[in-house]
Chains A and B, each alone.
Chain A
Amino acid sequence: MSSVIINCAKCDTRLPVEIINRPGFTSCPGCGVPVKVHVFPALYRQTGTVKTGEGLLTDNEAGCFFHPAKKAVIPCDICGRFLCSLCDIEFNDQHLCPSCLEAGKKKRKIRNLENNRVLYDNIALSLSVIPLLFIWPTIITAPASIYFSIRHWRSPSSIIPRTKVRFILAGFFAIIQIAGWAMFITYI
């Protein structure tokens, strides 16, 4: 454990090994702030060596699709192309080639590669609620809110569990506003 490097999150002082994985808080030797450190085996793991791919030794061996001079070790789980150890990307318990990984990210087929999503339901709800403060913009924003609710009803929303209640509320408020405008125009 002597080679463990854990620094205090506040003062960046290297913390002594004795305070690691203790049940209670211990003062940091640098700043004196009570600190608690949970350390896991990944900290002691050696960094892996870089894979370069083994070259073809005989003509009977299959070559990599991307590097024909390198020996194929595994097929891609999506497209079936033969891959050398250099091209083999292990992800989500699957072996993928770089092009399938790239395509999966672009087409949003691999969820664990997604790092951003637009919340259309929040946009629709804001379009139907915020312009109410100024009244007049609602003649445009209320239909826009309904359009957003219908257009993006099936669009991917948040990755975490989320209901459609914002879409429903947005539609409800927008319909009330449109009805209000219809009554106002007929009254005039």
Chain B
Amino acid sequence: MSQNTREYTGLPGRGFKKGGFFAVFRIRARLWLGRDHLLCVYNKKYEEDYKRFYYKDIQAIIIHKTNRAKVWNIIFGIFAAIFAVRITELWPLTGFFLLLMLINRLRGPTCACTLQTAVSKEYLPSLSRLRNAEKAVNRLMPLIEKAQGKLSK
């Protein structure tokens, strides 16, 4: 019950949760490690929503690879090609889209991460890059194993 605000440490990865169709602001999501639970923070600009997953209740973490990074690279590539070939006066835009492609490439492959408990399955929007998801799971697993014990083979 103390008001100590340093009890959470951030996990890598930030993402956006799908809001309503008319949502003005996108909902930013981030994960934080607490003493006995994982805190999922949804930032709606003027307020925050919290979801807590206690380490003792987490049953499984499921990661599957997605093609989102490849799709975006194709879209950026098409725009870069259009500005390079058809509208040569706007050549800086070609560079801009190539830069976006490079950033997307450097951020690595994409994935979707789902956390399962006995009563819910929660999609974790902040773990949308495989590198971040692996790092987060590696930091999360010892805490879950500490709360639940190790699984025998």
Contacts and interface: CB of A to CB of B under 8 A. Distances in A.
Interface residues of A, number: 40
Q: Is the interface of A mostly helix, strand, loop or mixed?
A: loop
A10 B64 contact: yes
A111 B32 CA distance: 15
A116 B52 contact: no
Contacts of B47: 116-119
B50 A115 contact: yes
Nearest to A114: B50
A21 B151 contact: yes
B60 A37 contact: yes
A10 B148 contact: no
A150 interface: no
Contacts of B43: 119
Contacts of A135: none
A122 B45 contact: yes
Given A34-B64, A40-B145, A115-B49, A161 B6 contact: yes
A118 B64 contact: no
Interface of B: 1, 3, 5-6, 8, 10, 32, 37, 39, 41, 43, 45-52, 56-66, 112, 114, 116-118, 121, 123, 137, 141, 144-145, 148-151
Interface of A: 6, 8-10, 21, 25, 28, 33-43, 47, 92, 104, 109-112, 114-119, 122-123, 126, 156, 158-162
